């Protein structure tokens, strides 16, 4: 894997024809250390956000020892990459064969569920194992988050008391978990959900050993500047301490985006300008799925050796495929004199961007390069107090 100091150095030296993923291991390491040192409990990395083996190793080296896996592919990947890691199978609906392989082959002891049918499945697949950590997933609101996760999973309220009681009979350790949605913009997302946890414990009268607040911890994007993560941690800890739970109960979380968003960006080239539309060589079927399909606005900057004095203007992007849906409305703010042949760095793509790429139409990223400069936005110290980053990078 090649190394350069920055996107500008790469663009100047190589003039790459294909998009290039820029990796910042130091940024992922810093994010992981922040959670390890500041979250008042155990942090599980949600592998779905970015399953790169290189990233998994960075997070492990930074102190992340537990991993939230959601498929046999993720179980096998993490077991192969980090043989000493603790795996937690947190998808609430699993194949019976997957449960059996996870338990008997890979030593997975922690599973989530949101129905009595799933509990029976876990009992059968593990042959009535007595050493399981079982977490019942509550259905909670996603009203404070940019992306909802409130409809697909979560125990029906009228089944919750019975399910908690039955799971308590099976589990060595009983937990309650939830997910407030992706990119939660206020700590109230978690404190409101923890009130639901309190109600569930009181109504069911079971002893709870684990409370898992899931993911949803935010990163910074244009137009989405969340409060400091320490305010989330403090609010969660206060509510957790007030729950009627076991004196030795553990607090868990499952950050995905918050650990890996700053890990990578992508360097693209402008192949054509048509008014305020820029045709670039990555798009909806590459790293920019969220920009196309849910209107996510990523930070961007022009990578050009000569300084631009032009005012910023709003642009939209078309990706390289022949599909009209390969369109990213933005707006993306760039100097108004941008032109064919210029390079653009699109930031904060370490979460989901890298994970959701396809090879549709024969297009894809050809290279990955490690860079040592800082991400365009950060919640971990560097640039956290800065205003909007410059949109022009020059020597």
Query: Which tens digit of pLDDT belongs to each residue from 185-208?
Result: 999 999 999 999 999 999 999 999
Report pTM: 0.92
Tokens of 149: 């996760």
Tokens of 318: 């078309």
* Strand boundaries in the chain, DSSP class E: 2-4, 20-23, 42-46, 66-69, 86-89, 110-113, 133-137, 145-147, 173-177, 182-184, 210-212, 250-253, 264-274, 277-280, 300-303, 312-318, 327-335, 343-346, 367-371, 392-393
Q: Report CA dihedral (226, 355, 178, 147) to the nearest 10 degrees.
A: 50
What pLDDT was estimated at residue 2?
77
Concatenate the DSSP letters of all residues of 37-60 into one string. HHSSSEEEEEGGG---HHHHHHHH
Q: Is the C-alpha dihedral spanning 38, 44, 46, 47 positive or negative?
A: positive
What pLDDT was estimated at residue 336?
96
* Tens place of pLDDT per residue across the chain (395 aa): 678 888 888 888 889 899 999 999 999 999 999 999 999 999 999 999 999 999 999 999 999 999 999 999 999 999 999 999 999 999 999 999 999 999 999 999 999 999 999 999 999 999 999 999 999 999 988 888 887 777 788 898 889 999 999 999 999 999 999 999 899 999 999 999 999 999 999 999 999 999 999 999 999 999 998 999 999 999 999 999 999 998 899 999 999 999 999 999 999 999 999 999 999 999 999 999 999 998 899 999 999 988 899 999 999 999 999 998 999 999 999 999 999 999 999 999 999 987 888 888 888 777 889 999 999 999 997 544 333 444 444 33
* Angle of helix 229-241 versus helix 188-204 axis, rounded to 10: 20
Tokens of 157: 């309220």
Domains in the chain, please, with CATH?
Answer: 2-23+263-393 (2.40.37.10), 25-260 (3.20.20.10)
What pLDDT was estimated at residue 171?
97
C-alpha to C-alpha distance for 85 and 104, rounded to whole angstroms: 16
Partners of residue 69 on adjacent β-strands: 89
What pLDDT was estimated at residue 382?
54
What is the average pLDDT score of the chain?
A: 92
Query: Quick check: 215 and 196 in contact, CB under 8 A?
Result: no
First to last CA, the chain: 24
Residue 150 host element (H or E): none
Q: How far is CA 184 from the centre of its chain?
A: 12
Query: Quick check: 262 and 378 in contact, CB under 8 A?
Result: yes
């Amino acid at each position: 894997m090649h190394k350069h100091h920055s996107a500008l150095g790469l663009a100047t030296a190589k003039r790459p024809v294909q998009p290039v993923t820029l990796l910042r291991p130091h940024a992922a390491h810093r994010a992981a250390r922040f959670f390890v040192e500041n979250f008042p409990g155990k942090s599980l990395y949600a592998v779905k956000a970015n399953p790169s083996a290189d990233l998994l190793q960075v997070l492990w080296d930074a102190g992340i020892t537990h991993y939230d896996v959601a498929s046999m592919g993720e179980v096998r990947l993490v077991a192969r990459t980090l043989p000493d890691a603790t795996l937690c199978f947190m998808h609430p609906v699993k194949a019976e064969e997957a449960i059996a392989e996870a338990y008997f082959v890979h030593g997975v002891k922690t599973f989530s569920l949101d129905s009595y049918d799933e509990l029976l499945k876990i009992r059968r697949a593990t042959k009535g194992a007595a050493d399981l950590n079982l977490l019942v997933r509550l259905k909670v609101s996603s009203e404070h988050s940019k992306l909802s996760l409130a409809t697909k999973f979560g125990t029906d309220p009228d089944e919750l008391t019975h399910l908690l009681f039955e799971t308590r009979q099976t589990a060595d350790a009983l937990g309650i978990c939830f997910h407030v949605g992706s990119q939660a913009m206020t700590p109230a997302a978690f404190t409101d959900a923890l009130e639901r946890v309190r109600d569930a414990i009181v109504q069911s009268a079971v002893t709870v050993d684990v409370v898992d607040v899931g993911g949803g911890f935010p990163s910074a994007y244009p137009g989405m500047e969340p409060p400091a993560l320490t305010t989330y941690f403090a609010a969660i800890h206060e509510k957790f301490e007030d729950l009627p739970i076991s004196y030795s109960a553990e607090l868990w979380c499952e950050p995905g985006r918050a650990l890996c968003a700053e890990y990578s960006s992508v360097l693209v080239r402008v192949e054509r300008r048509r008014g305020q539309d820029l045709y670039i060589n990555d798009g909806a079927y590459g790293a920019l799925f969220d920009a196309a399909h849910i209107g996510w606005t990523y930070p961007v900057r022009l990578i050009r050796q000569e300084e631009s004095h032009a005012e910023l203007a709003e642009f939209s992007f078309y990706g390289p495929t022949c599909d009209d849906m390969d369109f990213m409305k933005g707006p993306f703010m760039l100097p108004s004199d941008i032109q064919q042949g210029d390079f653009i760095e699109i930031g904060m793509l370490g979460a989901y961007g890298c994970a959701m790429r396809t090879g549709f139409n024969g297009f894809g990223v050809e290279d990955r390069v490690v860079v040592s400069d800082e991400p365009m936005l950060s919640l971990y110290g560097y640039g956290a107090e800065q205003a909007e980053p410059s949109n022009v990078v020059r020597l």
